[in-house]
């Protein structure tokens, strides 16, 4: 029998597999304020629009079937499969990220930090990015919250 938690984990896996299945999805970094949900358009400054290198779904671990269902991006390896070093197009302080699928639809949103535990996505060298420079994504975790 499939439990609700297992179904939730399966749904998270399906979302991740669909992000970049038929084209080039992207990770975009924005300044504040963080929108309340994905249906709300960002009003901050777009600092980075980095295309994903390959299938994002293949680059995440399978979601856990313990609460909360969690999937972690594989940003290591050669090349890193989800996010990587990319160009900075505008100067600003990063507050949040969005992952967009190949159709340009926002599918994930979360906070950004510079060390483990400070955001769902961890980047270097800093949250204060300067146009023309580069950034790297060190890790990214997607966790679903709610009642299971």
| CB within 8 Å of 130: residues ≥ 6 apart | 88, 91
pLDDT recorded at residue 1: 44
Query: What's the rounded Cα separation, in Å, for the pair 29 and 36?
Result: 16
Q: Where are the domains of the chain?
A: 4-143
Dist CA 7 CA 39 (whole Å): 24
Instruction: Report the pLDDT value the prediction gives residue 7, as an integer from 0 to 100.
Output: 78
What is the predicted pLDDT for the residue at 41? 95
Mean pLDDT of the chain: 78
Determine the pLDDT at residue 81. Answer: 44
142 and 71 in contact (C-beta within 8 Å)? Answer: yes
User: Which of 82-112 are b and which e, b meaning 16 or more Cβ less than 10 Å from the residue's Cβ?
Assistant: bbbebebebebebbbbbbbbbeeebbbbbeb
The pLDDT value given to residue 112:
93
Q: Determine the Cα–Cα distance for residues 21 and 135; give it in Å rounded to an integer.
A: 25
Contact between 142 and 91 (Cβ < 8 Å): no
Q: pLDDT truncated to tens, each residue of the chain (148 aa)? A: 455 778 778 877 777 777 766 667 788 999 999 999 999 999 999 999 887 765 555 556 667 777 777 777 655 544 344 445 567 899 999 999 998 887 888 988 999 999 888 898 888 889 999 998 888 787 778 777 665 5
Label residue 8 left, alpha or beta by phi (over 0 means left) and psi (-120 to 50 means alpha): alpha
At 78 the pLDDT is 41
Distance linking the first and last C-alpha atoms of the chain: 15
Predicted pLDDT at 66 = 76
């Amino acid at each position: 029998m499939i439990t609700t938690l297992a179904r939730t984990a399966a749904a998270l896996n399906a979302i991740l597999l669909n992000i970049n299945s038929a084209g080039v999805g992207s990770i975009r970094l924005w300044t504040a304020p963080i929108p309340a949900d994905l249906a709300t358009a960002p009003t901050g400054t777009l600092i980075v629009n980095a295309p994903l290198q390959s299938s994002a779904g293949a680059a995440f671990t399978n979601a856990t079937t313990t609460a909360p269902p969690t999937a972690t991006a594989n940003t290591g390896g050669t090349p890193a499969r989800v996010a990587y070093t990319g160009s900075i197009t505008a100067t600003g302080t990063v507050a949040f990220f969005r992952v967009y699928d190949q159709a340009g639809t926002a599918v994930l949103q979360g906070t950004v930090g510079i060390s483990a535990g400070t955001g769902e996505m961890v980047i270097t060298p800093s949250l204060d990015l300067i146009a023309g420079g580069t950034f790297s994504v060190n890790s990214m975790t997607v966790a679903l919250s709610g009642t299971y």
